[in-house]
Amino acid sequence: MTSMTQVFYRAPDIVAGFADRAERARRSVVHLHGAGRGVGTGVVWQSGGVVLTNDHVVAGTGGRLRMQTLDGRDLPVRVAARNPDLDLALLHTSADDLPPASVGDSSRLRVGELVFAIGHPWGQPWVVTAGIVSGLGEAETRNGQRVAFIRSDVRLAPGNSGGPLLDARGRVIGINAMVFGGDLAVAIASHVVERWLNDSQGRRARLGVGVQSLPLPEGVLNGRSRGLLVVSLEPGSPAEQAGILVGDLLLHADTVSLEQPEDLHRALQHTDGTLRLRLLRAGDIRVIDVTPGAES
């Protein structure tokens, strides 16, 4: 009887605490607009106006985006980086006082945990819905990268895309991306988002080269299975000045073997001078020294 009484009196406190965490999390959620209409949701991921959303939210807007904040501000926002394979986009706004979300470690998430989402379904602003984690898994992107995702029964609708999936403590553990099978919501795991964000920011700021992982035919390079294909170069960047070309296949950066974009980011973060790149160009192995810059 005592145990039941304790549970009875604690229940309102638990509910109130959940509501408090949801209210705090809503302050880090923005409503994205393009061409005069709502297109989705974004999450203030870092201080300094760094916002994350889905790539499909910004696709078709021509980069003409604005966002509304919970406190009523209407702000311009620009697209800083996109990854269609991961369905992620990095946005920047000039407002540097937006409260960043608390980000949790999705790699420790378990099936059955309570989660909730915040977004703008059908244009209704800052709606909160709740559910449980129903599954955890991986999917392979078009470039062969394995990506962790989270399935839940949180109710989502058009307008929720790009918004946060949060755990019971109010920490973001995913970016909501789609509804599968009519009732299961799919979110990109936060540790995948963090890895891409760190790689994207590091690459743009230090080297100025865009890459994607490329599978290699068996036997091409003594059993090596993957390399990093250069798909873009920033004009005037250290990579361009050193002679890197679009279409080069990067194999090593100093002693780091380059198979995934995060490998290049790791090499950039640990160099304190010239980075020696070993690459394949038109069937020939070449070595090019690049001095990463402090800014893009």
Distance (Å, rounded) from C-alpha 261 to C-alpha 210? 9
Confirm whether 56 is a catalytic residue.
Answer: yes
Residue type, 280: L
Q: Which of 56, 85, 92, 252 is catalytic?
A: 56
pLDDT on residue 38: 79
Q: Which of 106, 161, 190, 213 is catalytic?
A: 161
Confirm whether 97 is a catalytic residue.
Answer: no
**What is the reported pTM?**
0.66
Q: Which of 87, 167, 199, 248 is catalytic?
A: 87
Confirm whether 71 is a catalytic residue.
Answer: no
Q: Which residues of 147-158 are buried (b: 16+ CB within 10 A; e: fewer)?
A: bbbbbbbbebbe
Residue by residue, pLDDT tens for the chain (296 residues) are: 444 444 444 555 556 688 899 999 999 999 999 877 878 999 999 888 999 999 999 987 877 899 999 999 999 999 988 888 889 999 999 898 999 999 998 988 999 999 999 999 998 999 999 999 999 988 776 556 678 899 999 999 999 999 999 999 999 999 999 876 566 899 999 988 988 887 666 444 468 888 888 888 776 677 678 889 998 888 888 899 999 999 999 999 988 888 877 778 767 766 657 889 999 998 899 999 998 875 43
